[in-house]
A and B are shown apart, each in its own frame.
Chain A
Amino acid sequence: QKEVEQNSGPLSVPEGAIASLNCTYSDRGSQSFFWYRQYSGKSPELIMSIYSNGDKEDGRFTAQLNKASQYVSLLIRDSQPSDSATYLCAVKGRTGGFKTIFGAGTRLFVKA
């Protein structure tokens, strides 16, 4: 079992719709959770961090964390073509010092 799993996609949504990206992790003691956006040919950019169960909203982005079920999700409301990118989920586990485990990413296409 991979430590951090994401559906590779591609996930295709129409412009204006809600895009839902999911991530599961194996270390039940994980503490910190992050979402990164990576445009093609560019480096990853941190867009959300979440540490506690529940929802955290930042503009059009909402991160949701459920530690009991070991999943974290990212919702993008009013999706725009500029949101088309690969979204990486990252998890800081209970051990491992300052290492963060990254998922392989989900490709999102927003159709105009």
Chain B
Amino acid sequence: SQTIHQWPATLVQPVGSPLSLECTVEGTSNPNLYWYRQAAGRGLQLLFYSVGIGQISSEVPQNLSASRPQDRQFILSSKKLLLSDSGFYLCAWNPGTGQYEQYFGPGTRLTVT
């Protein structure tokens, strides 16, 4: 069966510090991968998605970036965090191949102070 991992689970970072969140998927090959952010009490905002290694599509221009160095690894980064970057960061995957269900990881709760 497939499993998706995210770490860390929670993070408190000062404004201006860097960020690196990691997501890995087990039990599948060549998944589509997604990063979402959910602000408190709000809906899901798609940040990036990837259909393959090194292929990143950005949905919202901001101070975040994403990379996919391996087939089942997706990384979200920032060089300098802003207060507005606080939120619940969710990684998701889907099998591709004409299937569109997305399966979410446990999430990382980021607080920028």
The interface of chain A, by Cβ under 8 A from chain B, is 31-32, 34, 41-46, 49, 88, 90, 92, 97-100, 102-105
A104 to B45, CA, bound (A): 10
For B43, the closest partner residue in chain A by CB is A104
Cβ of B59: which chain A residues have Cβ within 8 Å of it?
99
If A97-B51, A98-B51, A99-B49 touch, does A46 touch B102 (CB 8 Å cutoff)?
Answer: yes
Q: Which of B34-53 contact A (CB under 8 A)?
A: 42-44, 46, 49, 51
Cβ of A34: which chain B residues have Cβ within 8 Å of it?
100-102
Q: Count of A-B contacts with CB under 8 A?
A: 46
For A91, the closest partner residue in chain B by CB is B100
Cβ of B110: which chain A residues have Cβ within 8 Å of it?
none
The reply to whether B94 and A98 contact each other, CB–CB distance below 8 Å, is: yes
The reply to whether A98 and B49 contact each other, CB–CB distance below 8 Å, is: yes
Show 6 residue pairs from A and B whose CB-CB distance is below 8 angstroms, ordered by the A residue.
A32-B100, A42-B107, A43-B104, A46-B102, A99-B49, A99-B59
A78 to B106, CA, bound (A): 28
In the complex, B103 has a CB within 8 A of chain A? yes
Q: Mark B75-113, 1 if CB is under 8 A from A, else 0.
A: 000000000000000100010100011111111010000
In the complex, B32 has a CB within 8 A of chain A? yes
Cβ of B51: which chain A residues have Cβ within 8 Å of it?
97-98
A88 to B101, CA, bound (A): 13
Cβ of B102: which chain A residues have Cβ within 8 Å of it?
34, 46, 90, 100
